[in-house]
Structure 1
Amino acid sequence: MKKIIATLLLLFALFQTSNTFAQDLLKSTDLSTLKVDYLSDSDIVKIKTQLQTNNVTIEQAEPMALAKGMSAAEFAKLKERLAMPVTKTELVKKDNKEDDDDEKADAFGKKQEKIVNTKVKDSINALIFGSELFDNPTLNFEPNLKLATPVNYVLGPGDELQVSVYGVQEFNASIPVSTEGKVTIPYVGQIPVTGMTIEAATQKIKGAIARVYSTVGSGQSQVAVSLSRIRTIRVTIIGSKQPGNYSISSLATVYNALFLGGGPGKNGSYRNIELLRDNKVYRNIDIYRFLVNGNQSDNVGLKDNDVIRIPAYNQRVTVEGQVKRPGIFEMKKGETFSDLLSFASGFNEFAYTASVNVLQKTDKEFKVIDINASEFSSYKPLSGDVFRVTKILNRFENRIKIDGAVFRPDTYSFYEGMRISDLIAKADGLKEDAYSNRARIIRLKPDLTTEIVNVNLAKALEGDLESDIALKKEDVVTVYSILDFVEEFKITIDGEIKKPGIYDYYENLTLNDLLVEAGGLTGSASKRVEIARMIQSEAIDDVNPNKAELFNIEISATNNEQAKNFALRPFDVVNIRKMAVYEKPEMVTVSGAVHYAGKYVLAGKKDRVYDVIQRTGGLTSVANVEGVRIKRPIQAKQIEDLENVNLNLGKKDSIQNKLEKKLKEDLKFATIPVDWKAIVKNPESNTNVTLFPGDEIEVAAYNEGVKVTGNVLLTSEIPYTKGKGFNYYLNAVGGIDAKGWKKKAYVIYPNGKADVAGSFLFIRTYPKVIPGSQIIVPEKPEVKKMSAGEWVGIGSVISSMALLILTAFK
């Protein structure tokens, strides 16, 4: 007994070690008792996953496993098993095992083994009617496990029954059907159920339990039997896109199996599929019954070892053109074109239905036949027939049209004997502006050319049969309007009017009417109005040089009225003159070191800088007399003038473009330097410029610093030192840098004026520096140095020229 217990403990330890190892190879502490032979395929898969998750190879794991007591022989076995490929079936089984022991359960407790299937899109047979049924992944015909078990369901090994006794006595258990086809109920015994329906098995189980549980027989307890787990059966599919053996639910049907197999193959039949059971044809399946009529009578349940055989088709035909569902269709013997038309869901709305063209194949060549509508129910398609359904003609058999001066211009139906008066009556008669002396008919001749027929509408409507001509189909009747013959007259008004422009002329239009229509006069309008009128004459008058007749009229500008209303004529041009003196006050701005900065109105036409600054109270004590300048806005006309100047630089040259862009976007003001000292001494000095509206006078405050910027070592502001020159301030900031161009340096003075360095007889002079100045050192332009090859080329040319000269003087 002790030996048996020890053996059991050893086996338990080995099993626990294997499980521990399988669960975590890297975290196990003792692997000395591990036996690789005891590990299942799912354990091997777990070890592989664990190594991949931790980014560890089996070679890297070897020293860890040996250190934990695993023998080298066992590790070699493990390494060999890990190297073996794991099949897709094993992976599926592994995944399924983790999902509740290779099973799935629905919300009501029924369980079913998972079925794995990969769909293959059918691109070859896409036009074959019915192929889309097996390509749609959302349509799979799987049995619904939430429905009640069918009473005719036949039990077999693999099923599991839920047997419950409730009432005075209670019992509840899930009992599987054994491989021998029996269920074993505790205290009741074994009950054979294989081959029985669920209904018959329920009655048999109740009877057996009643013999053991006395309260069941007396009715004090009840017995319930239900199917809790559904077995898996195997069926074989031949002739499908994916033929083979399939494990499917015992509740599955033929369509479910066909879907798993991808439907019929390239040449497989959709209408003569055979379900073989016990080596006999149990049923012939026609998928068209389901596709066309929704009839699922062929969708019968399957049994274990059933065979679904899909033979090759007998005959297929093609339907093209104007049908609702064109494609390739399979036909059975005896079916007609009417049956084929129902498969294609009938003609569409544009189909020509009087006859159908058929392309047939003979033993040697093709031939074409036409099937009339009366033959649709009798013509039996042949294999390979191509039916072409064409469109109806783009023409009308009874169309007639009227447009123009009628109340309802439109297209109407034509009938034999229709006359022009009948058509006008259909269009609700003529409009008031209709020109009744003539109407036009554009008529289509038999050879499809057109002709014009003229009609006197007045006589036709009065009952003159000769004028009331008969119409033909496709006639287009046009009724003219007298407004079409009236010239469109215009009149123009311009000048001091709120809405100048071109207006429509109406009969009896007067000047007062036009002034009101144009919004009335502006405040600057004078009482003078000039009207120009075109001269009309049947003869040329060479003596009269005038091109237009002029009228000068005085009006009251305050009420837009004139004493005598002037009648206008077509194409008159009215000009409202402006008052001789009418200018709104315009302003300039003064800012900086003045007593009263702000905006000032230009009181005189020639107000100057000195005049306006005097009105501000003059310069303050902190003002820099060297820092007075004017900022004048750049006008749009100046930019336009620049654009109109041709600098002859070529169309693609960017110099003028950059200059225009600088004026438009960067420079919004032009700076005018002012010499205030000269103006004070002599107000008539030319620096005392006349101001324009929008000018801004800036008076800078006194600044003792001199700013040095540009290509210098240190950009800084140096205090002004009297008597010190240009070089002093450059040296004060460390001099120029490597890119500085000293001889092109310049100074900007506080008033905006600039001065540059110069030279005379090798003597360089630099501009004077005053307080508030700004010294700027520009950058030297880049000069491309000649390469060694270019120097060699120049030397070769010089040598050649020298040799040529020596040769010439010999």
Structure 2
Amino acid sequence: MKKLITVILFLIALFQTNTILAQDILKGSDLSTVKVDYLSDSDIAKIKSQLQTNNLTIDQVESMALSKGMDPAEFAKLKKRLAFTETSKSAVDKKTTTKKKSKDSDLEDEEDNSDVIERKQEKIENKKVKDSLNSLVFGSELFDNPTLNFQPNLKLATPVNYILGPGDELQISVNGVQEFNDNVSVSVEGKVAIQYVGQISVSGMTIETATQKIKGAISRVYSTVRSGQSQVEVSLSRIRTIKITIIGSKQPGNYSVSSLATVYNALFLGGGPGKNASYRNIELIRNNKVFKNIDIYRFLVNGNQSDNVGLKDNDVIRIPAYTNRVTVEGEAKRPGIFEMKKGEHFSDLLNFASGFNEFAYTASVNVLQKTGKEFKVADIQAAQYDSYLPLNGDVFRISKILNRFENRIIINGAVFRPDTYSFYQGMRVSDLIRQAEGLKEDAYLKRARIIRLKEDLTTEIVNVDLSKAIVGDLNADVALKKEDILTVYSILDFKEEYKVTIDGEVKKPDVYDYQDNLTLNDLIITAGGLTGSASKRVEIARMIKAEDIDDSNPNKVELFNIEITPYSNEQSINFVLKPFDVINIRRMAVVEKPEMVTISGSVSYPGKYVLANKKEKIYNVIQRAGGLTSLASLNGVKIKRPIKKAQIEELENINLNLGKKDSIQNKLKKKLKEDLKYATIPVDWEKVVRNQNGNANITLQPGDEIEVSAFNETVKVAGNVLLTSEIPYKKGRGFNYYLDAVGGLDAKGWRNKAYVIYPNGEAAVTRRFLLIRSSPKVEPGSQIVVPEKPETKKMTTGEWVSIGSVITSLALLIVTSFK
């Protein structure tokens, strides 16, 4: 009979139609007869829905479909029809994954791994509010750290002792000769419904027990499972949410948590214990009985998570008020407020506070206790640490050790190892010097000094004759005491620091240390040698030393003038120097480096030219450049001279008496520093040609730039005019002609201050005498600029009334005076 049933099932699978494929592409056993062209749009939609339900793509089921006999060409057609949907689904999945990462920390990130099926959990939202009321209580930081939440890891293997219940979802797979894959949920009745198998009751079972029961039920339908040719796998694909209640936390209430959640996870969601709640006597109540007493200190101090048990539906976490809290202040590694249980001693409290720090005074601890009426102070000795029972409200104060040494002694100065050493009774000066590895060669043996701290904490000085102490004279080899400071002098300490100064034509003029037998040659070599402009004259100034004042000698120093070879650092006369000598290497009388000017524009040979003499004129340089070309403008020659730093400094030193708030001088300095890089000097070339000896033939300076403009037959009009333009030059036409040619002035144009800039940089402004206005002459290539009128403030009616009142009063005063 069983063989007959198997043959019938095989025949049914063999003749599956396209409709079967559309209904369940994952459950069909023979797909060789599938024709994608005959599938309707609704069939494709069913396949899309099935893939989405199982969180799979068409690429992930390719190998499975081909193994079931589906033709590769038919699968390619199916993939093509699903291509658009698959692309859309990928984008949606990516967006959903990003949203889950940012909003739901209880959901796992989606993985691009076709062999791993994501375990899901219903979204749980619990808003956590940071509370600083218990910031000093030991353990409160555990619930204020957002990166520490004890959230269960959904990617771990399913715990074998996990108890199934309504809301869980199982993934059941049959692999081998026969294949089957389905996700089934545990119903409210505690059952799972498996296709072709029926309903199986699993509620209250562990996952391991439920797996064995499901395998037994499937083996009765799938013979290959019973024979071992197919294997059954059962895993937890969706985890149910349970309800718990937290009492006594910072945020008490009912919470929805994962069925894998633990006590610590729930306490974190509730913000930890409240203001007066206990950290060490938390009760987990299950079925109206205390199931577990939780002490958070076991985890905080020892890392013991034995209290972090799993939760079940309708569990209650009750946090009662604390019974005994004490405070640790001062030199503990972790001071704060601690909760103590009955029978715990001060040594346990020290363990909670991680012990004394390196600066703590450990011999005793001061404690401030509270009686029924007042405070009292007690001292706990080190021998009592294991027996003293802290009382509620105790404040333990751990003080610092004193900044004193019980056996310190110090030696410094001219010894090989100046340092701090340990003192012992009977120690003498020679012993300490021997411990410092002896005296240096420069040690001063006639005297050493001991600074000693007396009993009344004042200090005294004890002098030591080292020459006698080191040879064993007990009177000189003074016995030392703790905190003594022995100083061994160096003969170099008494020697004056001598210097010599060299200046002038050396590469590194400076002040140098003096050594015995220092010569002029030695100092010149130390200063980098002579420069190329050094002369043969050297002046050496030496200070005068005498016991008596010589009024007949008015000299402050003694001067030596010697001659050296200016092209050699080694002199035939090797002059021996003395301390504080000042050496000056003079510069040659004539040392002039070539200096240049630049000429550009309409000359035959523009470029850079060296100034041939100290009074080189512009005419000479232009002639050396081949003279002006035929295109040059005779009125277009100008010199651009760089503004020197000294000129700006001179302006800064001038006080214009404009007042502190006036910015005219500041603006002028800013303009010279930042805006104007050079000053323009106009040249009247015609005068220069007529008389080369006249003032028009300007003497050039290094860095000058000579510009020769080309002849321009237009006149440029700019500024506050209706049209900025260039107007062809017409001989005999005046200033107003060019203003009219551009449409005249605009509303802000200031006619009285209009000016002309000529090609050579010279400017001419409109002049006015009485009612006669004289406009400047216009030449080819010049530029007319019309500035803007300054803004004027109109007088108000009140100001006019005030002026009228003043005039009226004056008139009355005058009339009265003539009566």
- Cα deviation digits, residues 630-667 of structure 1 (max 9, x gap): 33333333333333333333344333333333333333
Distance across 2 between alignment mates of 1:188 and 1:753: 110
> Counterpart in 1 of 2:391?
382
> Counterpart in 2 of 1:399?
408
> Counterpart in 2 of 1:341?
350
Equivalent position to 2:584, from 575, 578, 589: 575
- Cα deviation digits, residues 146-175 of structure 1 (max 9, x gap): 666666666667777888999999999888
Equivalent position to 1:482, from 491, 495, 500: 491
Answer yes or no: is 1:677 the counterpart of 2:686.
Answer: yes
Distance across 2 between alignment mates of 1:394 and 1:494: 53
| TM-score normalised over the length of structure 1 | 0.76
Deviation at 1:505, TM superposition (A): 1.8
Distance across 2 between alignment mates of 1:716 and 1:213: 100
Distance across 2 between alignment mates of 1:166 and 1:625: 105
Equivalent position to 1:426, from 435, 439, 454: 435
Answer yes or no: is 1:351 the counterpart of 2:360.
Answer: yes
Answer yes or no: is 1:688 the counterpart of 2:712.
Answer: no
> Counterpart in 1 of 2:510?
501
> Counterpart in 2 of 1:537?
546
Deviation at 1:546, TM superposition (A): 1.4
Paired amino acid for 1:650 = G
Distance across 2 between alignment mates of 1:652 and 1:716: 40
Distance across 2 between alignment mates of 1:228 and 1:376: 55
3-state DSSP of counterpart to 2:279? coil
> Counterpart in 2 of 1:655?
664
Distance across 1 between alignment mates of 2:626 and 2:214: 123
Aligned residues: 710
Distance across 1 between alignment mates of 2:636 and 2:178: 117
1:717-796 equivalences in 2 (<5 Å): 717-759=726-768, 762-796=771-805
RMSD: 4.1
In structure 2, the CA distance between the partners of 1:646 and 1:125, relative to structure 1 (3 Å rule), is: closer
3-state DSSP of counterpart to 1:421? helix
Q: Does the CA contact (< 8 Å) of 1:122 and 1:131 recur in 2?
A: no
Query: How many percent identity over aligned positions?
Result: 77
Paired amino acid for 1:505 = Y
Deviation at 1:526, TM superposition (A): 1.9
Equivalent position to 1:330, from 311, 327, 339: 339
> Counterpart in 1 of 2:639?
630
Equivalent position to 1:562, from 568, 571, 592: 571
Of stretches 170-179 and 691-700 in structure 1, the one that deviates more from structure 2 is 170-179
Deviation at 1:384, TM superposition (A): 1.6
Deviation at 1:792, TM superposition (A): 0.9
Answer yes or no: is 1:469 the counterpart of 2:478.
Answer: yes
Distance across 1 between alignment mates of 2:531 and 2:124: 90
> Counterpart in 2 of 1:273?
282
Distance across 1 between alignment mates of 2:222 and 2:708: 120
1:239-278 equivalences in 2 (<5 Å): 239-244=248-253, 253-277=262-286
In structure 2, the CA distance between the partners of 1:164 and 1:410, relative to structure 1 (3 Å rule), is: same
3-state DSSP of counterpart to 2:425? coil
Q: Does the CA contact (< 8 Å) of 1:119 and 1:135 recur in 2?
A: no
Distance across 2 between alignment mates of 1:618 and 1:156: 109
Deviation at 1:412, TM superposition (A): 2.0
> Counterpart in 1 of 2:302?
293
> Counterpart in 2 of 1:367?
376
Of stretches 784-793 and 584-593 in structure 1, the one that deviates more from structure 2 is 584-593
| TM-score normalised over the length of structure 2 | 0.76
Deviation at 1:735, TM superposition (A): 3.7
In structure 2, the CA distance between the partners of 1:500 and 1:346, relative to structure 1 (3 Å rule), is: closer
In structure 2, the CA distance between the partners of 1:751 and 1:368, relative to structure 1 (3 Å rule), is: same
Of stretches 540-549 and 209-218 in structure 1, the one that deviates more from structure 2 is 209-218
Deviation at 1:354, TM superposition (A): 0.9
3-state DSSP of counterpart to 1:341? helix
Of stretches 453-462 and 230-239 in structure 1, the one that deviates more from structure 2 is 230-239
Deviation at 1:222, TM superposition (A): 8.7
Deviation at 1:457, TM superposition (A): 1.8
3-state DSSP of counterpart to 1:392? coil
Deviation at 1:540, TM superposition (A): 1.1
Distance across 1 between alignment mates of 2:634 and 2:804: 61
> Counterpart in 2 of 1:705?
714
> Counterpart in 2 of 1:645?
654
3-state DSSP of counterpart to 2:397? strand
Distance across 1 between alignment mates of 2:773 and 2:180: 122
> Counterpart in 1 of 2:448?
439
Deviation at 1:363, TM superposition (A): 0.9
3-state DSSP of counterpart to 1:599? strand
1:186-265 equivalences in 2 (<5 Å): 236-244=245-253, 253-265=262-274
> Counterpart in 2 of 1:4?
none
Answer yes or no: is 1:520 the counterpart of 2:520.
Answer: no
> Counterpart in 1 of 2:324?
315
Deviation at 1:796, TM superposition (A): 0.5
Distance across 1 between alignment mates of 2:803 and 2:159: 107
Paired amino acid for 1:503 = Y
Q: Does the CA contact (< 8 Å) of 1:353 and 1:373 recur in 2?
A: yes
Q: Does the CA contact (< 8 Å) of 1:438 and 1:454 recur in 2?
A: yes
Of stretches 267-276 and 506-515 in structure 1, the one that deviates more from structure 2 is 267-276
Distance across 1 between alignment mates of 2:362 and 2:178: 76
3-state DSSP of counterpart to 2:592? coil
Deviation at 1:427, TM superposition (A): 1.8
In structure 2, the CA distance between the partners of 1:705 and 1:298, relative to structure 1 (3 Å rule), is: closer
Equivalent position to 1:667, from 663, 669, 676: 676
In structure 2, the CA distance between the partners of 1:215 and 1:714, relative to structure 1 (3 Å rule), is: closer
Deviation at 1:292, TM superposition (A): 2.8
In structure 2, the CA distance between the partners of 1:426 and 1:712, relative to structure 1 (3 Å rule), is: same
3-state DSSP of counterpart to 1:401? strand
Answer yes or no: is 1:607 the counterpart of 2:616.
Answer: yes
Paired amino acid for 2:588 = M
Distance across 1 between alignment mates of 2:621 and 2:181: 113
3-state DSSP of counterpart to 2:715? strand
In structure 2, the CA distance between the partners of 1:262 and 1:536, relative to structure 1 (3 Å rule), is: closer
Q: Does the CA contact (< 8 Å) of 1:108 and 1:146 recur in 2?
A: no
Answer yes or no: is 1:121 the counterpart of 2:133.
Answer: no
Distance across 1 between alignment mates of 2:378 and 2:711: 109
Distance across 2 between alignment mates of 1:304 and 1:372: 51
3-state DSSP of counterpart to 1:625? strand
Distance across 2 between alignment mates of 1:239 and 1:577: 94
> Counterpart in 2 of 1:27?
none
Distance across 1 between alignment mates of 2:695 and 2:322: 110
> Counterpart in 1 of 2:462?
453
Distance across 2 between alignment mates of 1:742 and 1:172: 97
- Cα deviation digits, residues 755-793 of structure 1 (max 9, x gap): 444455644433444434434444444433322211111
In structure 2, the CA distance between the partners of 1:535 and 1:160, relative to structure 1 (3 Å rule), is: closer
> Counterpart in 1 of 2:112?
none
3-state DSSP of counterpart to 2:421? strand
In structure 2, the CA distance between the partners of 1:346 and 1:615, relative to structure 1 (3 Å rule), is: closer
Deviation at 1:371, TM superposition (A): 0.6
Q: Does the CA contact (< 8 Å) of 1:157 and 1:177 recur in 2?
A: yes
Any unmatched runs of 5+ in structure 2?
1-99, 109-114
> Counterpart in 2 of 1:86?
none
